[in-house]
Amino acid sequence: MKEFKILAVIIALVGITYYGIEPYAHSVMHPEVAAADFTFKDVKNVDTSLAGNAENGKVLVEANCIACHAIESASHPQMMPNADAAAAYGVTPPDLSHAGRIYDKNYLANFIFDPVSAMHLQHKFGPDTGKTFPMPSYNWMTPQEIMDVVAYLQSIAPKVAEGKEGHKVTFEAACGRCHSMKYAGIEATTPTENLKTYMGATPPDLSQHIKSRGEHYLHSFINDPQVLLHGTAMPRVGLTEEAQEEVITYMEEIGDSKKAERETVGLWVMLYSVVFALFAFLWKRKIWEEVH
């Protein structure tokens, strides 16, 4: 009984200390922020309830977008190599093949209307910064026209494979223009030198971000970087919840590839430890019978 009392005291003291230096200290250093919003309801320049016409959207896209953007899935190849594109625009313009799938509809429509306000980058490309975002605002289009473009982009977005391969496609489309992922052999499509000028600093390699930032942080950070890192040069990219899940899953598949093995082996080792302790107890009892 006395031993249990001692154990209880130790567990209490260690527990209090642990609570203080781990959960509590971390909650002080990283306060909770507003929940991620995957409807992007703060941007409402375009009435997204309108039904888009993909046929008309195709015409609009071919007239307005493909001068800068490749759309491989609709057989519009890249106009120039990445290095030249980055030199011309500051950053390589995205291929729009996956845009209709990975970007939220509301976000995409409002992005076309005014990219800077959708990305929450007014501090970087606002009127008094002297800098302009490489893509112009298409605020002269009617809401119907914008929704037609969105409908077209949604119609041409190819389905991706299940599992790691598909996650990789989503990751590259969503993050790969600025971020490298060394452990997956992925290099940002924009050359480092251009990125440095365009972003102010080299965007980090994402190989270990699943560990250094954690799923919880990434969940709200990717949704809107300004919430957790006010003033950052990273734009809000407007991923749908599914696309963001795929990105985070991919980061885990690359950055913590042994997770499944760890959890299985962990269970077996703990089970073994219980058996070990049990036998140790029986042995101890037998030996101590003689001396008590």
The backbone region for 202, taken as left when phi is positive above 0, alpha when psi lies in -120 to 50, beta otherwise, is beta
Between the CA of residue 235 and those of 68, 118, 119, 238, what are the distances in Å? 19, 9, 5, 9
106 to each of 34, 47, 171, 261, how far by Cα in Å?
A: 20, 9, 21, 40
Nearer to other proteins, 41 or 230 (CB): 230
Q: Of 80 and 276, which has the nearer Cβ to other proteins? A: 276
Q: Does 14 bind other proteins (CB under 8 A)?
A: yes
- Which residues lie across from 76 on neighbouring strands? 71
Backbone angles phi, psi at 76, to 5 degrees: -110, 100
DSSP 8-state secondary structure symbol assigned to residue 24: I
Is residue 200 within the footprint of other proteins (CB under 8 A)?
A: yes
Q: Are 184 and 167 in contact (CB under 8 A)?
A: no
Q: How many residues bind other proteins (CB under 8 A)?
A: 62
2 binds other proteins (CB under 8 A): yes
| Binding flag, residue 18, other proteins (CB under 8 A) | yes
CB of 105 to other proteins, least distance (A): 31
Site string for other proteins, 216-255 (x = CB under 8 A): -------------xxxxx----------------------
Minimum distance, C-beta of residue 284 to other proteins, in the bound complex (Å): 4
Q: DSSP label at 43? A: -
According to the binding rule CB under 8 A, does residue 109 interact with other proteins? no
- Given the complex with other proteins, which of 54 and 233 has the nearer CB atom? 233
| Binding stretches for other proteins (CB under 8 A) | 2-3, 6-7, 10, 13-14, 16-18, 20-22, 24-25, 28-29, 123, 130, 182-183, 199-201, 204, 207-209, 211-214, 229-233, 257-258, 261-263, 265-267, 269-270, 273-274, 276-281, 283-284, 287-288, 290-292
